[in-house]
Amino acid sequence: MTRLALHKPGFAIPDRVLRLSEHAITKQIRALRQSLGEQVVLLAHHYQRPEIVALADYRGDSLELSRIAAQEHQAKHIVFCGVRFMAESAAILCQLRRLVMHPDFAAGCPLADMASLGRVEQAWGELAEVCDPSSVMPVTYINSTADIKAFCGQRGGCICTSSNAKAVLSWALEHRAKVFFFPDQHLGRNTANALGIQAKQQILWDPRQPLGGNTKTQIARAKVILWKGHCHVHTFFTPDHVEQARRIHPGCRIVVHPECTEEVVKSADANGSTGFIVRYAQDAPPGSCIVIGTEINLIARLAREHPDKRIYELARSLCPNMYKINLYNLYWTMCELGKVNVITVTDDIKKDARIALARMLEIA
Ligand code: SF4
């Protein structure tokens, strides 16, 4: 059970707000934004709806937004337009007396929720029966709950994002014989592959099975233990999509996110974090044809922002949770700044999670 404390979700958006047109509410948000001045900063993840990104002070991927939240000295209020674990990370990292607001508490991340603290603690206990836990480095992808981040921090472990997973995994293996990687098996596997770790040294841990479904010998031999979690948005892509894209767009370059399956990553021309994909599109010469395997809102925006290039989606895959943030819950959060949709993380979780996050920022 999570020890994370969330309070006062602002679900009850008044009817007078819900009746406003998108045009009217956008105008009101802009006016409010101006009157609040430096009291507030608006952060938006790349997968947000275009109308939200257009209003943001900063947009970025998880790592970029974590850094901005950590360095924000002016604004007392940080409004985070993304999914819950991102707003929690901002609340963990931000300076004292800053408040982080998340316009819709229901905007969670199913991948993050695949590794609950109870299951992870149970797995850790089982692992301790087979090998010395001090030889295992817990590493969690930033797409995880605050208490899993704290779990890693308490045990000398670290957090990673898709931008720095390779650096973090290398660091972890320099310090301990094994890594237990939560919760995204695909990012873990693709990163281990990129580091040249053999398939037989990577095992999958299914929390529903004793010893994660592995034998003691397999565990003893493993260098990387991958938690059985996945992102449904990125595992939607298949090698058939890649083959089809190459047929329809001869000469195209295909770039995908490392949360995609190993087969998709291997069949693409490049893979990397959201930030990497943005730079890939920006840096491509005019006239290039790029097919991208990631969340559709980002791809659509890249296509609009680079009309001199042909940018297409590998297939249409939308993150329904990112989509839950809209003009109405953003406006209401800004009207009731500091009173609704405030994310709070208990001090003990914050302290331990901060250790793991700070370690990541150092390594990255
Ligand atoms: S795209 Fe996947 S990992 Fe990212 S927030 Fe949505 S479900 Fe979670």
10 has a pLDDT exceeding 60: no
**Which atom in ligand 1 lies closest to the alpha carbon of residue 143?**
3
- Residue 77, SS3? strand
| Spacing, Cα 128 to ligand 1 middle (Å) | 31
**Which atom in ligand 1 lies closest to the alpha carbon of residue 85?**
5
d(C-alpha 279, C-alpha 62), whole Å: 15
Q: Are strands 310-313 and 342-343 parallel, antiparallel or unpaired?
A: unpaired
At 67 the pLDDT is 84
Contact 208, 119 (CB under 8 A): no
At 4 the pLDDT is 39
1 has a pLDDT exceeding 90: no
- Model's pTM, two decimal places? 0.93
d(C-alpha 258, C-alpha 160), whole Å: 13
User: Radius of gyration (Cα) for the chain, nearest Å?
Assistant: 21
| Average pLDDT of the residues of the chain | 94
Atom 5 in ligand 1: which residue has the minimum CA distance?
Answer: 109
- Residue 22, SS3? helix
d(C-alpha 91, C-alpha 345), whole Å: 7
At 73 the pLDDT is 86
At 6 the pLDDT is 40
Packed helices 347-363 and 165-175: angle between N→C axes, nearest 10 degrees: 100
At 63 the pLDDT is 78
5 has a pLDDT exceeding 80: no
Q: Which domains does the chain have, with CATH numbers?
A: 6-105+322-348 (3.40.50.10800), 112-230 (3.40.50.10800), 239-313 (3.40.50.10800)
At 66 the pLDDT is 81
User: What is 86-109 written as a DSSP string?
Assistant: HHHHHHHHSPTT-EEE-S-TT---
At 11 the pLDDT is 59
The count of other CB atoms within 10 Å of the CB of residue 335 is 16
User: What is 185-211 written as a DSSP string?
Assistant: HHHHHHHHHHTT--GGGEEEE-TTSGG
**Which atom in ligand 1 lies closest to the alpha carbon of residue 83?**
5
Closest CA to 43 of 70, 81, 74, 92: 81
| Spacing, Cα 188 to ligand 1 middle (Å) | 15
| Spacing, Cα 16 to ligand 1 middle (Å) | 32
Residue 107 in tokens: 């905007």
Percent of the chain with pLDDT over 90: 89
| Spacing, Cα 319 to ligand 1 middle (Å) | 6
What lines the ligand 1 site, CB under 6 Å? 83, 109-111, 143, 231, 233, 295, 319, 321-322
b vs e for 252-277, b when ≥16 Cβ sit within 10 Å of the residue's Cβ?
bbbbbbbbbbeebbebbeebbbbbbb
pLDDT in tens, 162-208: 999 999 999 999 999 999 999 999 999 999 999 999 999 999 999 99
| Spacing, Cα 354 to ligand 1 middle (Å) | 22
Out of 61, 102, 111, mutate this one to test ligand 1's pocket (max ligand atoms within 8 Å of CB): namely 111
Residue 271 corresponds to which amino acid? N
User: What is 254-295 written as a DSSP string?
Assistant: EEE-TTS-HHHHHHSSEE--HHHHHHHHHHSPTT-EEEEES-
Phi/psi of residue 90, each to 5°? -65, -40
E strands, the chain, are 6-7, 40-45, 58-60, 77-81, 99-101, 136-141, 158-160, 178-182, 202-205, 224-227, 253-256, 270-271, 289-293, 310-313, 342-343
46 has a pLDDT exceeding 60: yes
| Spacing, Cα 281 to ligand 1 middle (Å) | 21
Q: Which residue has the tokens 């993050």?
A: 112
Residue 260 corresponds to which amino acid? C
Q: Are strands 77-81 and 99-101 parallel, antiparallel or unpaired?
A: parallel
pLDDT in tens, 293-318: 999 999 999 999 999 999 999 999 99
Out of 47, 83, 85, 161, mutate this one to test ligand 1's pocket (max ligand atoms within 8 Å of CB): namely 83
pLDDT in tens, 64-83: 888 898 888 889 999 999 99
